[in-house]
Amino acid sequence: MPTLLIVHHTPSPNCQAMFEAVVSGATAPEIEGVRVVRRAALAATAPDVLDADGYLLGAPANLGYMAGALKHFFDQVYYPCLDETRGRPFGYFVHGGNDVTGAVRGIEAITTGLGWRRAADAVTVTGEPGKADIEACWELGATLAAGLMA
């Protein structure tokens, strides 16, 4: 069964709201035959990445970049997964206080290096997520999962 791996760093209620919406979209009843696996960014491993068919990443912006937990994930999996995961679809969401530019730039650069294919627009939110933000997260999850349906 195709597998969507959600790798997230979720340290606050605002991030949790975005994460839950992404999971809700990815596991919507109309999406059939897709396994959704969630891993905290500090616990995700190269085998998790190799075993999946698509990826959804989510983290806060910290100190002008992606949160260290997501950077740690990429550091762990980059070379072990470089050969085998090229071309696979991914999407991501970032939450920040005021400026997520550096986090977005970092995620785009690393995923370009991996050769992953962005399958949906990124969702970026600063401050408390509004209804439209939560809906965008739901759509992000649903789009990635639907793309893996056989």
Ligand X SMILES: Cc1cc2nc3c(=O)[nH]c(=O)nc-3n(C[C@H](O)[C@H](O)[C@H](O)COP(=O)(O)O)c2cc1C
**Where on the chain is the footprint of ligand X (CB under 6 A)?**
12-15, 60-64, 95-100, 126
Closer to ligand X by Cβ: residue 2 or 102: 102
CB of 121 to ligand X, least distance (A): 18
CB of 80 to ligand X, least distance (A): 28
User: CB nearest ligand X: which residue?
Assistant: 96
CB of 98 to ligand X, least distance (A): 5
CB of 68 to ligand X, least distance (A): 9
**Which pair of tokens denotes residue 128?**
């408390």
Q: How far is CA 104 from the centre of its chain?
A: 12
Distance CA 13, CA 75 (A): 26
Closer to ligand X by Cβ: residue 13 or 29: 13
Q: 3-state DSSP call for residue 137? A: helix
Residues 6 or more apart whose CB falls under 8 angstroms from that of 93 comprise 18, 22, 56, 57, 58, 122, 123, 124, 125, 137, 140
Residue 60: exposed, middle, or buried by beta-carbon count in 10 A (0-12, 13-18, 19+)? buried
